[in-house]
Structure 1
Amino acid sequence: MKRLGTSALAAALLLAPAQAAPPPPNAAAKRPNVVILLADDWGFSDVGAFGAEFATPNIDALAYAGMRFSNFHVAGSCSPTRAMLQTGVMNHRNGLGNMPETIPDAHRGKPGYDTVMNHRVVTIAELFGAAGYRTYLTGKWHLGSDATRLPEARGYDRAFSLADAGADNFEQRPIEGMYDTAAWTENGRPSTLPKDFYSSTFVVQKMIDYIDADRASGKPFLASTNFLANHIPIQAPDSDIARYSAMYQDGWTRLREARAKRAAALGIVPAGAPMVTMATTPDWAKQSEEERAAAVRVMQAYAGMATAMDREVGRLIAHLKATGQYENTIFVFLSDNGAEPTDPFHSLRNRLFLDMQYDLSTANIGRRGSFGAIGPGWASAGASPLSGYKFSAAEGGLRVPLIVTWPGNKTIRAGAVNGGLAHVTDILPTLAELAGVADHGGSWKGKAVEPVTGRSLVPMLGGTAGSVHGDDPLGYELSGNSALFRGDYKLVRNLAPTGDGKWRLYDLKSDPGETKDLSGTEPARFEAMMADYRAYAKDNGVLDMPAGYTADEQINQYAWEQQGKKRAIKAGLWLGGGIAVLAGLIWGWRRRRRALRAASGGV
């Protein structure tokens, strides 16, 4: 990635087919601010501008003022995506070959399987900070919790972050069973949340506070804003849930179909693109009245949670407008993976445990003290019209909405939808080019580091047709679910429970829903892409998964191991306390006995 200022960028874009207009005269002199808005577990059509029925007017406004990418890919779960976003480096090379919650024991400690972002990569905060930017992060981090791996140790001037995968949205409480505490820190020190805490409100308010605190410096800022919405537990303010009280009565299949039609009408997917019904989607008609009532309520809460987050995005935008910073700010909105299908209540053991920790009544779903999850039914609607969801390598797990907007600069085609292949590693080099920030070139502070593997999307932002990746292969693997993209085609394999371990080939341009396997009709392409995948796996140190592995079961095992450790600690404290008391009694008895002997002359 070479350094390219906005003036040079504009000149380059004049050569593109879109004939983009040059930026304002002062744009080169004043570098842009950057705001990254990272949603958690939002599916492909979980934004109004991508087909959602719930209200996201502020995110939609960014979409129509800038460019929507309809063929943008991330990892199938959160921290691998976050590490690639932070570094522009593929996940096995940045340390997130797998997450701590999903890695099998056999892979722990292997190269590329650090389960935290390693020290062989440079973050976007380090890169922009070295170029004179103020750098801030608020919200979910999940890339390491020790003193050398928290955000302020990785280039952020100010950071209020959560080290875990998720936490309660109304109080300083962990996901019970997964973590002992909600690991919130500010600038590396444990911090206490306010009593009126709600996650989306807090994450934005902290970012506003950070931006304002240093505004007098005159320096541009990089603001990484990382929401907990809509990660489990699904929770939202009562008024936001009530807004959707008349909706979702017809179930997830009807919603999936309605979203597919809206996405096609918006130009996000081809009209008439085929769509599968996923095997894991329950039959709405076979749900009991009680089950349907709970399902309707959790989707109302999910919609409310998304709308509450969107409102906070609007509050941040309004503040930047009021302070004169909006026009020269680049906004990037994306989700870290597809919709979350996990059903925490799938086993009696889980249900009984959670029932002891939370109020699981239908009336309380989404409120303080609740623990809700949309499950595979509503997740199929969130992924619509794609197949699969979070954790899988199907499009529903990897393809998410991406919006890039620069309100005061005309280099981005307003209102356009770009269908070219794009990847999360492309975000860092794109922002660096737009901001005139130089790449580290594989060397940082005198030592070799992993080079940026992503490619700048600037030509696509200017209207160039196709993808900056051209026909070059782009590999992916996480928890044994694997893919290889090349041009319009995708080679993919999913392990159980979302797949059968068989490799398949799809033409994503005409079949984004992955309904027609071409491996038998295009054997030459299939074999060539298999060779590409093997080369990717070798170059990135990808390990085969142990027999019988599934991410779902590994998460459950992790949770119950954590509970076992807690019980062992409690038992140890009890036993240790008992031993201490017994030792004290023995010591006292012996002391008394010696005293009595001394008093009697040693007899």
Structure 2
Amino acid sequence: MILLAAISFLWSSSPILQAKRPNIVFILADDAGYSDVSCYGGEIATPHLDALADGGLRFTQFYNTARCWPTRAALMTGFYAQQVHRDALPKLGGGGRGVRQSWAKLIPAYLKPHGYRSYHSGKWHIDGNVLDAGFDRSYRVNNQGNFFTDKGNLVDDVPVKVPADETGYYTTTATADHAIDCLKDHQTNFAEQPFFHYIAFISPHFPLHALPEDIERYRDRYLDGWDAMRAQRFAKQQQLGLLNTTLSALEPDVGPPYAFPEAIKELGPGEIDRPLPWDQLTEEQKRFQATKMAIHAAMVDRMDQEIGRVVEQLRAMGELDNTLLFYASDNGASAEIMIRNGGHDPHAEPGSAATYLCLGPGFSSACNTPFRRHKTWVHEGGISTPLIVHWPDGIADRGQLRHTPSHVIDILPTILDVTNIKIADGDDSQERPELPGKSLVAAFKDDVTVERDALWWLHDGNRAIRIDDWKLVAAQGEPWELYDMKTDRAESNNLVSKMPEKAEALEAQWNASLEQFSELVKKTSEKPNAKKQKSKR
């Protein structure tokens, strides 16, 4: 008994022993489609992500929230974004400018009391300042309109001083540079402590900006069009055993989620805002669209290269085996077409700083193969993401698939599980609801289904619920559709008229969750997170 007590004391008091808890790295892409990574069916070169998948696991039914800021809120708080004011509820507000309640803490707040240091590199898009949320260091990419300048970004919540000559700057590389610098500093000064690192690339979000040498590798790759690309990716997915479904049909009447007709005119005759059959496009349209896809591919390729550098740094530190590393995307590929920030120069080289191009619905559909719709919709194309999990010390069954439905709300419970950290009671414990997500640790060991009541979505009037293999979904202003996810994740065979009772039961559950979230927000809306206030730093 004395020996056990001594061991217990050492575990709780020794930084060295505490450091045996795994490091956590979460890498988040922005607007990457389900099949953009090679090991999920794509033709883009992603050898570093493929290697992580070979040494870890690929989840085939992992979900986000269909949009950037609600996904980041759900990921970092463990709650649905609607629960924490970060996505809108009917008549209750919330969204990209919503303010979290005081109990809606981010991941670092749970880890810091147990010796973890936390780092952030890349996009933020969460309310409040980064260091106030518990991070020790941050590189915040606020400038999402020009990949070739550091202007507008922040280091440790302080605006950067941009040098007169920024030649050689590229946001994706700068994000990895900061991450690597944090890791090197950690190894030098805090090696006895575990770390959490949140690396949020803005690639491949529009504007389509990429390095010329990266674009060159894909310049003529997509001239066969999105029809051929979808067929090729789907065939590869079938070969990989990823999915049991058909390939969804293109929807030529579904364009961008938000109309900017003036932008279409300004972009010229090569632009097209509908996914028409490729053979109906003019030669000018084919070249313009294929060039945009080449830039998108170049952005994904470069992100993979930078991820490789981060992984190599972890390996050089001797920490890769003891690091639980995740990769996912914040939503599906985007059908949006717009011109913002510095505008678009049609005479400039495509992909350069003077241009402002967006992928659009044709190749977005191909990037989301085999699913329907895009970012902002809660059909599978908008909410499905790869999830690669790599952890040599904790995952023995490597290179395998995991088919359990899962969601970004599951990441915090999973982290708490692997670190053996309990959510401590505090002054706000009476207000804080139970985390809605589930730990995925059981699925690390075997291809099991993690039991849960439901997964739920609402964004911009698009709504859905999934219970077991049944999904009820509706686009804004449209009636409910019912699909069997076991055989039809392409959402091709609407069963709502054949199974009205099933649809009604799922609708009732969707409404019950909506009411529950609304009551929570009403009860806690008078206590916004004080950390939203201007930092005193």
User: TM-score normalised to the size of structure 1?
Assistant: 0.76
Aligned to 1:143, the other structure's residue is in SS state coil
1:146-200 deviations in whole A, cap 9, x for unaligned? Answer: xxx1111111111111347x33111145xxxxxxxx3x22222112356232111
How far apart in 2 are the matches of 1:291 and 1:274? 25
Amino acid aligned to 2:323: T
| Separation (CA, whole Å) in 1 of partners of 2:519 and 2:95 | 8
Any residues of structure 2 matched to 1:256-335 within 5 Å, and which?
Answer: 256-270=230-244, 273-279=246-252, 280=254, 281-335=275-329
Residues 1:379 and 2:364 aligned together: yes
Q: Any conservation in 1 of the 2:63–2:383 contact (CA below 8 Å)?
A: yes
Residues 29 and 135 of structure 1, relative CA distance in 2, 3 Å threshold: closer
TM superposition shift of 1:431: 1.5
Alignment CA distance shift 1:341-1:118 (3 Å): farther
Aligned to 1:341: 335
Answering whether residue 460 of structure 2 is matched by residue 493 of structure 1, we say no
Q: Which residue identity is paired with 2:371? A: L
Q: 1:276 to 1:27 in 2, by over 3 A?
A: farther
Of the structure 1 ranges 508-517 and 188-197, higher mean CA displacement relative to structure 2 is found in: 188-197
CA deviations on 1:99-133 (whole Å, 9 max, x unpaired) are xxxx9xx95x7368853444330110111112210
**1:424 alignment counterpart:** 408
What is aligned with 1:73? Answer: 63
Asked if residue 154 in structure 1 is aligned to residue 133 in structure 2, the reply is: yes
Deviation at 1:263, TM superposition (A): 1.2
Q: Which runs of 5+ in 1 are unaligned?
A: 1-25, 174-181, 345-349, 544-603
Letter in 1 for 2:480: W
The whole-number CA distance in structure 2 between the counterparts of 1:467 and 1:502 is 30
Which of 148, 158, 169 is equivalent to 2:147?
A: 169
Q: Secondary structure at the match of 2:327?
A: strand
Matches of 1:158 and 1:487 in 2, distance apart? 40
Residue 32 of structure 2 is aligned to residue 42 of structure 1: yes
The match for 1:503 is: 480
User: Is 2:10 the counterpart of 1:33?
Assistant: no
1:211 maps to which residue? 183
Tell me by how many angstroms 1:432 deviates.
1.7
Deviations, residues 429-459 of structure 1 (Å, cap 9, x unaligned): 1112112222246x46777434322110111
- Seq. identity, %: 31
Correspondence list, 1:441-520, <5 A: 443=426, 448-469=431-452, 472-495=453-476, 501-520=478-497
Provide the C-alpha distance between the structure 2 equivalents of 1:307 and 1:419, rounded to a whole number of angstroms: 26
Match of 2:343 among 357, 360, 370: 357
Aligned residues: 479
Does the aligned pair in 1 maintain the 2:139–2:155 contact within 8 Å?
A: yes
Of residues 218, 234, 246, the one that matches 2:220 is 246
Residue 535 of structure 1 pairs with residue 512 of structure 2: yes
Q: Output the amino acid matched with 1:264.
A: Q
SS in 2 for 1:370: coil
Q: Is the 8 A contact 2:70 2:96 kept in 1?
A: no
Instruction: Answer yes or no: is 1:186 the counterpart of 2:151.
Output: no
Amino acid across the alignment from 1:462 = K
The DSSP-based 3-state class of the residue aligned with 1:137 is strand
Preserved CA contact (<8 Å) 1:117 1:143: no
Contact 2:208–2:296 (Cα < 8 Å) also in 1: yes
Q: Which amino acid aligns with 1:239?
A: E
> What residue number does 1:435 align with?
419
- What is the aligned partner in structure 2 of residue 233 from structure 1? 207
Separation in structure 2 between the aligned mates of residue 447 and residue 230 of structure 1, nearest angstrom: 41
Letter in 2 for 1:504: E
* 184-193 or 455-464, larger mean C-alpha shift: 184-193
Q: Give the distance between the partners of 2:195 and 2:101, measured in 1 at CA.
A: 25
CA distance 1:117–1:191, change in 2 (3 Å): farther
Question: Which residue identity lines up with residue 189 of structure 1 in the other structure?
Answer: V
Q: Separation in 2 of the partners of 1:110 and 1:399?
A: 26
Residues 41 and 337 in structure 1, CA contact (< 8 A), matched pair in contact too: yes
Change (3 A) 1:111 1:376: closer
Tell me: CA distance 1:136–1:534, structure 2 relative to 1, closer, same or farther (3 Å).
same
Aligned-partner residue type, residue 33 of structure 1: N
| Matches of 1:113 and 1:61, distance apart in 2 | 35
Determine whether 1:389 maps to 2:389: no
2:161, 2:280 → 1: CA distance? 45
The TM-score, its normalising length taken from structure 2, stands at 0.85
Kindly provide the CA deviation profile for residues 404-451 of structure 1, in whole angstroms up to 9, marking residues without a partner as x: 11023335x21111111101100111112112222246x467774343
Q: Is the 8 A contact 1:73 1:423 kept in 2?
A: yes
Q: Is the 8 A contact 1:200 1:312 kept in 2?
A: yes
The answer to whether the 8 Å contact 2:183/2:313 transfers is no
SS of residue matched to 2:422 = coil
Which one-letter code corresponds to 2:149 in the other structure? E
CA distance in structure 2 between the aligned counterparts of 1:403 and 1:459, rounded to whole angstroms:
16
RMSD: 2.3
The separation in 2 between residues aligned to 1:438 and 1:542, in whole angstroms, is: 26
Query: In structure 2, the residue corresponding to 1:71 is in which secondary structure?
Result: strand
Deviations for 1:131-153, whole angstroms, at most 9, x for unmatched residues?
21010001100112xxxx11111
Relative to structure 2, which stretch is displaced further, 210-219 or 472-481? 210-219
- Alpha-carbon separation, structure 1, partners of 2:38 and 2:427: 41
Q: Secondary structure at the match of 1:541?
A: helix
Q: Give the SS at the match of 1:434.
A: helix
**2:395 matches 1:410:** yes
How far, CA to CA, are the matches of 1:94 and 1:268 in structure 2? 34
AA paired with 1:492? V
